[in-house]
Structure 1
């Protein structure tokens, strides 16, 4: 018997991946700043037997479209956006089994304090935490987090080289710094932690020097479940080395199958099997009492699509300013330093279907069923 696993996919903002839908009279996404919005969602998902809630995130503006943040701000295209981490402990407090996949980037925070934040959440969720490792792709995020005189923007593959070391530091902190029985909490001897069972990690690498010990005691999982959403060649190699779950988005079944075949081959190269990784495919599911009613509901949702907002997101994902295109222009000849798999997926889909996608069709597809990938 095949077990189907479901993660809900959301983000701590108004517009995650459906620009314009916030205007629908039954949409409540503008309540994202109300903690009850999230605790109610968590309880609803647990009642529906979802395995988890996967939370996307960005730390930057989609300002490539028109070389300005104006379109993103007008459409609320992933801005304003709040930190997803504080949501997790509140949602965990009102659920018993729901897991939480948390997205944060490796380029914008030092691994030492990040290790403590994740250990804290793993304790508070009783081991129900996953981490979606992203390398960051928005230039605005890099520009606003750089140290003086240092622009921390990497080329696509170099971002993954940096992420490899980032995880190396984290593994040393989470897995190697404390023995499992280091905490004695012995009121008789007065010893809480046995110093002989705690050690510094003495990491000295290309990007980081971290000599000391992890400041948190071992959490239920130590290392959270590692998610990865990379479908480019370098991203899938990174996933094969680190991931326990891979998030995949593709516009056709054939494109999805190709991505999974590539991942399977990379897993074999890394000495792992396909069974070591759970693959989650992005689907937008619209239901109603009958098929005709569901199609009518989908058409209603599409009537709210904000085309400019959709192209603002796609500009950021593909690394292309779609404001310079006409809506009926074909989407061809695009090279990207952003989400390479987003470009490849649509170009591959066009080849399979024997046609070229237009910018208008790209906006329509993004408006209700978006295709992010290698973030």
Structure 2
């Protein structure tokens, strides 16, 4: 089918742990998330997502633990609220080996690793996936993470982005400028694998990072991985406008999504990249079935296993506010946060009390929940894209793997019939499939300024 309609993008939103967004559902008898430490769990999921033509698997990650609620990690441990959590990057090679088209967005905290080593790890993943790797850039928001890494506490919110800007400069120099495109010759007869004249060390002396050396990996298909980013505070948007390609936002309604999307696209345009330089995704939860009654029954079943208090504990960590100290209907003081400013702003704007947050987290998480038949949910998704001016969704998991199987079996065919979803994967890298402009960073991106000069 050929169509001029805007096609909706789908990421599965996951994490290398038991409980991710919709907390408590690990107790559901059909849920398999406790198998997250096994490779078959992940390779099976990757095959399922590719069957549904999902654009990517977006893997969240945290360093640190959620210990703000009640001043301890007790509930976090009992309900597996993103604890225990394993390294997401370790999963990619196995999933890439059983798929050909599925992209992988991997979250990694830039403050936790020297950029020189990080650059090699993601170049390696780009090689092994043949250009299907993306990086979700995060600066961290957990004080527990800062303490675990040896700091006295979390640094000030905006300064974390200043540090991240400097980190990115090092990476761009390594990924884009250390090796020329034609540096690798692989000439056995001449005994020249790489031409020394086409490889150079970088020299970076920034306010936070210093790096002098040759990038350890030869150029990969994308060089710089597809760049995800999720900051929507004022400073976060400025960072996204400079670096981000795929932006993950949280919105409670299409009008709220539209407001944030317009801000982000305008800032990208102001940065000289153009308003179409971004692909914007909203987090959403879907419960669907063959009939509306089946979907409603399934939703009620999920609610019976979910834990709203666990969702509240997660939100406490996101905002840095211990909601356990407040009565159900007491007004909450939302001051300036050093954690996630965007999370605090959502709660402040809505005037959320503890009771209201618990209601929002009825399914264990705070993302909008769509319940209905494939046709009903497809209509709602189309409205979100049109009215919210977004490009797609990060679809959270509820009961694994059936929540994704249901989307694929009941919603994807309807979207395809309506011309709103692809019927086959596009060509090239992860970046090219989402933007259609080639495998590498566009010329208007700040990272492109660090390329090896084409005339030399």
Shorter-chain TM-score tier = over 0.9
Query: CA separation in 2, counterparts of 1:210 and 1:151?
Result: 25
Partner of 2:30: 26
> Does residue 129 of structure 2 align to residue 125 of structure 1?
yes
Structure 1 residue 340: Cα displacement:
0.9
Higher relative contact order at CA 8 Å, sep ≥6: structure 1 or structure 2? Answer: 2
Structure 1 residue 198: Cα displacement:
0.7
Q: Which runs of 4+ in 1 moved over 4 A?
A: none
Structure 1 residue 105: Cα displacement:
0.6
Partner of 1:288: 289
> Does residue 370 of structure 2 align to residue 370 of structure 1?
no
Query: CA separation in 2, counterparts of 1:347 and 1:36?
Result: 42
Query: CA separation in 1, counterparts of 2:19 and 2:335?
Result: 26
Structure 1 residue 334: Cα displacement:
4.0
Structure 1 spans left out of the alignment, 5+ residues: 351-355
Give CA-to-partner distance per residue, 1:54-92, whole Å, 9 cap, x none. 000001100111221112111110000000001011100
> Does residue 148 of structure 2 align to residue 144 of structure 1?
yes
Confirm or deny: 8 A CA contact 1:305 1:364 kept in the other structure.
no
Structure 1 residue 358: Cα displacement:
2.6
Normalization by structure 1: what TM-score?
Answer: 0.93
Partner of 1:56: 60
Query: CA separation in 2, counterparts of 1:324 and 1:285?
Result: 32
> Does residue 104 of structure 2 align to residue 109 of structure 1?
no
Partner of 2:234: 233
Structure 1 residue 190: Cα displacement:
1.0
SS at match of 1:115: helix
Partner of 1:79: 83
Give CA-to-partner distance per residue, 1:226-282, whole Å, 9 cap, x none. 000011111011011011110111122222111112112211221122211111111
SS at match of 1:286: strand
Confirm or deny: 8 A CA contact 1:39 1:90 kept in the other structure.
yes
Partner of 1:264: 265
Give CA-to-partner distance per residue, 1:72-131, whole Å, 9 cap, x none. 111110000000001011100000100000000111111110000000000000000000
> Does residue 356 of structure 2 align to residue 361 of structure 1?
yes
**1:152/1:121 CA distance change after superposition, 3 Å:** farther
Structure 1 residue 367: Cα displacement:
4.7
Query: CA separation in 2, counterparts of 1:189 and 1:367?
Result: 67
> Does residue 311 of structure 2 align to residue 307 of structure 1?
no
Alignment of 1:117-196 (within 5 A): 117-146=121-150, 151=152, 153-196=154-197
Query: CA separation in 2, counterparts of 1:168 and 1:145?
Result: 23
Task: Tell me the matched-pair count.
Answer: 363
Query: CA separation in 1, counterparts of 2:306 and 2:328?
Result: 14
Structure 2 spans left out of the alignment, 5+ residues: 369-456
SS at match of 1:81: coil
SS at match of 2:228: strand
**1:245/1:33 CA distance change after superposition, 3 Å:** same
Confirm or deny: 8 A CA contact 2:9 2:54 kept in the other structure.
yes
Normalization by structure 2: what TM-score?
Answer: 0.77
Confirm or deny: 8 A CA contact 1:107 1:152 kept in the other structure.
no
Confirm or deny: 8 A CA contact 2:142 2:154 kept in the other structure.
no
Query: CA separation in 2, counterparts of 1:200 and 1:175?
Result: 12
